[in-house]
Homo-oligomer: A and B are copies of this chain.
Amino acid sequence: MKNVLCETLGVEFPLFAFSHCRDVVAEVTRAGGMGVLGIVSMSPEQLEAELSWIDERVDGKPYGVDLIVPSKFIGKSEGDGRAPDPAQVLAGLPEEHRAFAAELLKASGLDPDIPDADRIARMRSGANMTAEGAHAMMDVAFSHPIKLIANALGVPPKEMLDRGKAEGVPVAALVGTKEHAIRQASAGVDVIVAAGGEAGGHCGSISTMVLVPEVVEAMKDFGNRPVLAAGGIVTGRQMAASMAMGAAGAWCGSVWLTTAEAETNAAVKAKMLTASSSDTVRSRARTGKHSRQLRSPWTDAWEREGAPDPLGMPLQSLISEPALARINKMADAGHEGAQALATYWVGQGVGLMNEAMTCRQVVEGFMEDFAGAHETLAACFD
């Protein structure tokens, strides 16, 4: 395909697959798209192993990585850029939140007791969100032939921008408003991922249909910096629609969750395949920031009047993630209460994800749909 990102990144088809699963990343890259590995919860050692695994499988085709370094980090030791002391962080978790989560587990017949060790294990992402942690991760990432490095929240740290420039690796960043896009481009970000409010995971409230043309327009002042459309996109027709509005490609996360290669929990996968677009909720109760996820009695409980107000990031995750890990594990083991509660991040596009496929089938389906969309528009001018 003739496209700015095909030229600069060496990708055949500008479909970007954000995934925490190396199999998805490698398969999408092999099929002609570009896998981007979410690495925030990995240790540097694990990252090294994952990227080596991918390198062995992609025959030099392009892939990337995605970190999260938020501009505000609660619990960061003042100024020194190092990870906070786990015991200190744990001591700051309010009893109200612990008890609310425990009560929900108990009411569904699950063990309500979350050991400290489970919460501490979740602080890995927190460590990677500090300057020191991000530095170690970038050391590993840049020692592999990555073709893109993305930052999922806020303006990337200066180190990421500088090293990206030095290594010739474009830096991408996710934004939910035009104003953020301008800030990112001003800071030197090369590729803007404009993520609409219908996106799974962290998201704003402006829809993809409005945000993409708004950001594309704003990028005219920045040499038409390429914009990837994200949010709700799970088909090649939607990708074509975004590109008709000026996007240089599509950035998708949700659509890979139900693929054969994804390590998505089986109960959640089954729910996603039958869910409609109305079955998601945008809530602060999972991470402290607004993120969109599958609705379940778990998310409903946190949205109800009287539920504890979500904590800041990353504290809320220390409440939610260990509990949800237990829920999803027990759901896979056949526990009915857990199956009801089970949930994961997903966008409104889940309503269009009705068939389990391989990653290659998804990529090829996108290519076919994209061509179909072009023909549909062309037919208007016949």
Contacts and interface: CB of A to CB of B under 8 A. Distances in A.
Interface stretch (A101-109, A208-216, A335-343): A208-216
Contacts of A214: 276-277, 351-352
A301 B3 CA distance: 47
A240 interface: yes
Contacts of A237: 213, 244-246
Q: How many copies, total? A: 2
A330 B235 CA distance: 49
What's the dominant secondary structure at chain A's contact region? helix
B380 A348 contact: no
Interface of A: 1-3, 177-179, 196-198, 205-211, 213-214, 217, 231-233, 235, 237-238, 240-246, 276-278, 347-349, 351-352, 370-371, 373-374, 376-382
Given A2-B381, A209-B232, A243 B179 contact: no
Nearest to A214: B351
Nearest to A177: B278
A142 to B, nearest CB: 31
B2 A380 contact: yes
B377 A244 contact: yes
A233 B214 CA distance: 12
A374 B209 contact: no
Given A243-B380, A380-B3, A235 B213 contact: yes
